[in-house]
């Protein structure tokens, strides 16, 4: 059974569902349960607080059965535990595509959710500012959403 980088079962679309980002007409396929809900909450919050999810541009992605670029490791997208937002505005490899204020907002949201989501803008190597991924167990995601 393939497993994504963060340890979730990968390449099984039946473990995902479509989530409609609040305030938009955009649907993103993400994992069922707390991990997907946490990413959906992030995307909906992002739309209202960081920058609007582009209307008409399909550059917001979730589930995709693929390996990490230049790797044999399954991407967290392959388990529905990663989302890319406004990818055309925040291309992989570019740093500083968000303002300082936007970065503070993003980091504050991540902190408020117990580090269950990791942001590609914090990668030490190749930055990926469009990218957010689950970095915790289902139970930790549940606690971050609903408390203990």
56, two tokens: 């008409």
Ranges of H-type helices in the chain: 34-49, 100-112, 138-146
Provide the pLDDT for residue 103.
Answer: 97
Contact 22, 16 (CB under 8 A): no
- Residue 21 carries which DSSP code? P
**Backbone conformation region of residue 138, classed left if phi is above 0, alpha if psi is from -120 to 50, else beta:** alpha
DSSP state of 115: T
Residue with tokens 């392959």: 78
pLDDT digits (tens, 9 = 90+) for 14-58: 999 999 999 998 999 999 999 999 999 999 999 999 999 976 667
């Amino acid at each position: 059974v393939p497993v994504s980088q963060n340890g979730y079962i990968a390449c099984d679309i039946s473990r995902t569902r479509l989530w409609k980002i609040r305030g938009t007409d955009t649907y993103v396929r993400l994992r069922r349960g707390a991990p997907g809900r946490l990413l959906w909450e992030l995307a909906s919050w992002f739309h209202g607080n960081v920058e609007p999810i582009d209307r008409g541009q399909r550059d917001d992605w979730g589930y995709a059965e693929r390996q990490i670029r230049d790797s044999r490791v399954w991407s967290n997208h392959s388990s529905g535990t990663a989302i890319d937002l406004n990818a055309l505005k925040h291309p992989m490899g570019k740093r500083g595509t968000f303002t300082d204020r936007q970065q503070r907002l993003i980091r504050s949201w991540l902190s408020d959710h117990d580090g269950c989501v990791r942001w590609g803008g914090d990668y030490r190597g190749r930055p990926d500012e469009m990218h957010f991924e689950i970095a915790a167990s289902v139970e930790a995601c549940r606690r971050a959403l609903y408390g203990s």
